[in-house]
Structure 1
Amino acid sequence: MMVIGLTGRACAGKDQYAEIFASFGCQVVDVDSLGHDALNESIKALKQAFGQAVVCEGKVDRKALGKLVFSNPVKLRELESITHPKMVETCKRLIREAGEEQKPALILNAALLKRMGLEPLCDHVLFIKAPLLLRFFRCRRREGLSLGRFLEREHAQLDIVPETDVQGLDVVALGNHRSKKVIHRQVITYCDTIGLEISSQR
Structure 2
Amino acid sequence: MTSLVPVPQAVTVPEPADPSTPAGAPALFRDTVAALEATALRREVRLSPLRAPQRLAPWSHAVAADVLGADGIELATGRLVLLHDPDGEEAWDGLLRLVAYASAEIDPEIGVDILLPTVGWSWLTEALTDRGATYRAAGGTVTQTNSTRFGDIAGPVSSVSIEIRASWTADDTALDRHLLAFADLLCTAAGLPPEGVAVLSNR
* TM-score in terms of structure 1 length: 0.27
Higher fraction of strand: 2
Normalising by structure 2, report the TM-score. 0.27
RCO higher in structure (CA 8 A, sep ≥6): 1
Bigger CA radius of gyration: 2
